[in-house]
Chains A and B, each alone.
Chain A
């Protein structure tokens, strides 16, 4: 069973702090990794993609990938109340462009003013 695991939270951080979200996956051959943000009552929105080991930065967001340890993380610097949402980790399981995109159940983040 190919799985993506996330801590369900809620993760509560004060405004301005760094929020750290983690994700592990079961399929060692996975190739593409994504972070989605989902506000309550809305559909998921792609915020980061990462394909190779290391860090990828985009504004206040940094995605980190470690394929040997099979984990992906998302750091949100200078967290804002508007970042409060559920963050979904998604992994393309071993199929190249044709693989299944498997989602974790998400981590709920709450940023307190």
Chain B
């Protein structure tokens, strides 16, 4: 059974650019959440999608957005990149939501220069 797949694994972008990250959840999983992980702040919740609808959103600026498609695949977009956006971005999927625990993907390491 395939796990959670995130692409790309590594990304280098310039300040001011925008970036799109992709996540394919485990087959049958309808809930997809995104997290930002940095050494100082740890894992911080960005948003959760379930059946193409955003159910929850963390405390991140509007530059961070996401969406989910009918096949449960999800994308997140960061516009007008800042140096502080450099982080590991993790996608996680669950059968139906946070009560059931998450399976994480390998992450996308974003470096903003």
Contact = CB atoms under 8 A, between A and B. Distances in A.
Interface stretch (A19-27, A60-68, A72-80, A92-100): A92-100
B98 A95 contact: yes
A42 to B, nearest CB: 8
B98 A101 contact: yes
Given A44-B90, A100-B45, A106-B42, A95 B56 contact: yes
Interface of B: 33, 35, 41-45, 48, 50, 55-56, 58, 90, 96-107
29 contacts: A31-B99, A32-B99, A34-B101, A43-B105, A43-B106, A44-B43, A44-B104, A45-B104, A49-B100, A92-B98, A95-B56, A96-B97, A96-B99, A97-B97, A97-B98, A97-B100, A98-B48, A98-B55, A98-B56, A99-B98, A99-B99, A100-B45, A100-B58, A100-B98, A101-B45, A101-B98, A103-B35, A103-B43, A104-B42
Contacts of A111: none
Contacts of A98: 48, 50, 55-56, 97-98
Nearest to A32: B99
